[in-house]
Copies of this chain bind each other. A is one copy, B any other.
Amino acid sequence: MNPNLEIMDKTLKRMATMHRMQTAGLELFYANGYYATSVDDILNKLSLSKGAFYYHFESKEDFFVQIIQNLLSRKVYSCLIEPIEGFSNPLQSINSCFEEALETAVHNEMDFGCVLNNFLTEFRGRNEVIMKHLNEILSIWEVNLVSTLQKGKFNGHIDRHVDCEAAATYLMSSYFGIRTLMVGAAPSARKYRFMSQLKMYLKTLEPKKVAV
């Protein structure tokens, strides 16, 4: 038998169960917080036992780190990075990316920018290991945003005097912040207001027409 297939077979069920646990885990961790969610909560939801959990994962922390690597980081990439990079006008793609991300937030679906924001504040100063992984995702987002903005400079969509690092910081800030505000009252109205001002800000990044 093909050794690769053998490995696949061996790991197939394992992978499936682990994936179920991770998906359910992320949902509950997002809804109730990491510390407020017990391993039993997750297991009850899946009708699994403690034995199954600790057969697959070393600890609750190890479990969460794997969730970050397998689910969160990929989702952040596909929701916040991919939709922005590779288009000619970064100002446009940033605008529609934020628009779309906030729209899922209005419908109370899981918005992975919000997930990242929540976990960043929950683990800060409490768990260095997990913070390291979260900061890594944050850093990837930041680097991509900066390089996309710089590419926009090169393509003439962004004024050459713009400080791209600063713009990236400001964009990330406003995005994280609006997620905090939106989960409260009137998310739809707040989204609309936010987007209108975001457009104003993005306009300041456009090339100034030089009076020749």
A: residues with CB less than 8 A from B are 31-33, 35-36, 117-118, 120-122, 124-126, 131, 135, 138-139, 163, 165-167, 169-170, 172-178, 180-181, 183-185, 190, 192-194, 196-198, 200-201, 203-204
Measured in the bound complex, the distance between the Cα atoms of B112 and A1 in whole Å is 64
Measured in the bound complex, the distance between the Cα atoms of B183 and A172 in whole Å is 14
**Shortest Cβ gap from A208 to chain B (Å):** 12
**Shortest Cβ gap from A196 to chain B (Å):** 5
Residues in B neighbouring A177, C-beta threshold 8 A: 172-178, 180
List 16 contacting pairs A-B, 8 Å CB cutoff, sorted by A.
A33-B35, A33-B122, A33-B126, A117-B121, A117-B180, A120-B180, A124-B184, A138-B181, A163-B193, A165-B193, A170-B193, A170-B194, A173-B181, A176-B180, A197-B201, A201-B201
